[in-house]
Amino acid sequence: MSLVGDHLERQGIPFEAMTHARTDTALEEARALGIDADAVLKTVVLKTRSGHALAVVPAARRLDMKLTRSATGDSHVRLATEEELRGQFPGFELGAFPPLGALLGLPLFVDREVLEHERLAFAGSQTESFVVHTTDLFAGENPSVVPLTSRDESGAQPPPPTARSGRDTAMAGEARVGPATDLPPGRVTGTGRFAVGNAAGNLFAVSRRCRHLRADLAGGSVDDDGCLVCPWHEAKYDVDTGQMVRGPQGAFAWIPGSDLAYRVLTRVLPLRRGTVTERDGALYVR
């Protein structure tokens, strides 16, 4: 068993190990695995003033150094050199560092786009990859979830607003939710990857998948406290922070530590929040 496989086993993280032809980059790894490159992780080792750190982004995206400087609070942060990597991390292969801060003893910065995927693949070596559930992967870590990639990496100008009709204009990066009158207080609906709701006039958008068993939160409800309630086992989320404030109910509530475990998990991995805008009587989310 490899270092990474051993680590996952010790942490009790279920995984699937896949061997493939030798690859030098995460993009090549995605091709070898036949997995969408957005669901394959690229781990970059950074050199900061206080030591090394890991930055994790989707394989198809490039690490944005401006965002990285802001995330690390270090204006001099840079990529570690091959020499540094060979010298300090002899057990790991170049181009195949795993996104495991706990294993490497390094702080972990994770691009928030990564959390949009239910399962993720990452390299353990240049010929072996691991596929795990996203929540399992980061449950034993203490990652800083931050933007590390910008949306437009091509340098192209964003397209102009697309007019669907005179009064129905979605700006670039937005999705139309519908007429504002269709979302009265207490209502929740789904648009793209967001559950969009109205908590007593507070329009909110959070990512759709419950951190428990991935129920679609667009089918949830808003309770008297303004929280979003999962339709399956009634976990409750604070819609402003994306954190679970009450764990799964029913039979799950009897599992010792379950409530606390999920609340702690969502402090680390809150639901992603979107922004809802009302314009000309219609709602848009981005």
- Residue/partner pairs of 27-34 with CB below 8 Å, 24 or more apart: 27/59, 27/60, 29/59, 29/96, 29/121, 29/123, 29/129, 30/59, 30/60, 30/121, 33/121, 33/129
Residue 284 lies near ligand FES (rule: CB under 6 A) = no
SS3 201: coil
Using the CB atoms, write b or e for 13-33: b if 16+ within 10 Å: bebeebebeebeebebbbbbb
Residue 215 lies near ligand FES (rule: CB under 6 A) = yes
Number of residues this chain uses to bind ligand FES (CB under 6 A): 9
Residue 8 lies near ligand FES (rule: CB under 6 A) = no
Q: Which of 122, 232, 237, 284 binds ligand FES (CB under 6 A)?
A: 232
Residue 61 lies near ligand FES (rule: CB under 6 A) = no
Shorter beta-carbon distance to ligand FES: residue 20 or 263: 263
- Residue/partner pairs of 242-248 with CB below 8 Å, 24 or more apart: 242/206, 242/207, 242/266, 242/270, 242/271, 242/272, 242/273, 243/267, 243/270, 243/271, 244/211, 247/212, 248/212, 248/213
**In this chain, which stretch among 48-56, 75-83, 139-147, 211-219 interacts with ligand FES, using CB under 6 A?**
211-219
Shorter beta-carbon distance to ligand FES: residue 132 or 210: 210
Cα(132)–Cα(17) distance, integer angstroms: 9
Q: Which of 230, 269, 250, 262 is nearest to 111 (CA)?
A: 269
Shorter beta-carbon distance to ligand FES: residue 233 or 263: 233
Shorter beta-carbon distance to ligand FES: residue 15 or 232: 232
Residue 235 lies near ligand FES (rule: CB under 6 A) = yes
Greatest CA span in the chain, whole angstroms? 62
Cα(278)–Cα(176) distance, integer angstroms: 10
Kindly identify the residues of this chain, within the stretch 239-258, that bind ligand FES according to CB under 6 A.
248
**In this chain, which stretch among 11-19, 45-53, 206-214, 263-271 interacts with ligand FES, using CB under 6 A?**
206-214
Q: Do the strands 273-274 and 202-207 form a parallel or antiparallel pair, or are they unpaired?
A: antiparallel
Residue 176 lies near ligand FES (rule: CB under 6 A) = no
> In the complex, what is the shortest distance from the CB of residue 175 to ligand FES, in angstroms, rounded to a whole number?
23
**In this chain, which stretch among 21-29, 83-91, 108-116, 212-220 interacts with ligand FES, using CB under 6 A?**
212-220
Shorter beta-carbon distance to ligand FES: residue 168 or 259: 259
> In the complex, what is the shortest distance from the CB of residue 274 to ligand FES, in angstroms, rounded to a whole number?
19
Residue 213 lies near ligand FES (rule: CB under 6 A) = yes
Q: Which of 230, 239, 265, 285 binds ligand FES (CB under 6 A)?
A: 230
Site string for ligand FES, 146-165 (x = CB under 6 A): --------------------
Distances 146 to 63, 67, 130, 174, 192 between C-alpha atoms, Å: 12, 9, 23, 20, 21
Contact positions vs ligand FES (CB under 6 A)? 210, 212-213, 215, 230, 232-233, 235, 248
